[in-house]
Amino acid sequence: MAGHSHWAQIKHKKAKIDAQRGKLFSRLIREITVAARLGGGNPEFNPRLRTAIEQAKKANMPLDTIERAIKKGTGELEGETFEEVIYEGYAPEGVAVMVITTTDNRNRTTSEIRHAFTKHGGSLGTSGCVSYLFDKKGYIEVPAEGISEEEIFEKGIEAGAEDIQTGSEIHIIYTTPEELYTVKENLENMGVPVEKAQISWIPNTSVSVEDVDKAKKILKLIDALEELDDVQQVIANFEVPDRVLQELS
């Protein structure tokens, strides 16, 4: 249970405010559609869908938009059929990258992702080339403001967390994939505000990048991937010292 600058903390500090509501809505709609297709349209029996709906409501998405996305997922309404596809590759400095997408055209998505990797000094790999460097986990973000390290450790462990990482802006709670939604609800029942909850790929080993320019190159690739409409998440296995992190902020 460590508190150094792992990928999640870097990502949170570097994350652009998703003020482009159209792009945020698009990603949320796709997540709702995929969740409904995989687990059914009733959020009471589909925790992934329930969480996606909660995120959509936080973003002030209209209820009729949410309902249409669910019905497209269950096949009650016609529309694009989205599938979840995971891509693996390398950023500069040998950093491993996982890209989680939802797409209705795998050929288009593959072409766009390959182009982004190539343009920014990376390379798209084959399935399995870097996934062994990551573990599939439940990932929960809790705002650090108003919640001390001691409190989040105490409540996180009581809620069923597998691991906890503290930070100045966010605390991160890791769970098994199966326990994600149970732990999330346990935290909320204890009055802990959950900012984000999702299944993600967490690095089990990391590359230390201590040069600002090299870190910028990696982040340019990640930004380019995140700009693509089909991309839901980008995860990389690098960390930087606090002094570099401050220069990147």
Report the CATH number that the domain containing residue 45 is assigned in CATH.
Answer: 1.10.10.200
User: In terms of residues, how long is the chain?
Assistant: 249
Same domain, 48 and 158: no
As for how many domains the chain has, the answer is 3
Q: How deeply is 46 buried, as exposed, middle or buried, from its count of CB atoms within 10 A (0-12, 13-18, 19+)? A: buried
Q: Are residues 89 and 198 in the same domain?
A: no
Residue type, position 96, single letter: A
CA distances from 222 to 44, 54, 142 (A): 35, 26, 23
Domain of 34, in residue numbers: 21-74
pLDDT in tens, the chain (249 residues): 333 345 565 565 555 444 455 678 888 999 999 999 999 999 999 989 999 999 999 889 999 999 999 999 999 998 788 899 999 999 999 999 999 999 999 999 999 999 999 999 999 999 999 999 999 999 999 999 989 999 999 999 999 999 999 888 899 999 999 999 999 999 999 999 998 898 889 999 989 888 889 988 998 999 899 999 999 999 999 988 777 777 766
Q: Tell me the pairing of strands 134-143 and 170-175.
A: antiparallel
DSSP bridge partners of 163: 174
Same domain, 65 and 179: no
Assign residue 90 the CATH number of its domain. Answer: 3.30.70.980
What are the φ and ψ backbone dihedral angles of 178, each rounded to 5 degrees? -70, -30
Answer whether residue 172 is part of any domain.
Answer: yes
pTM: 0.84
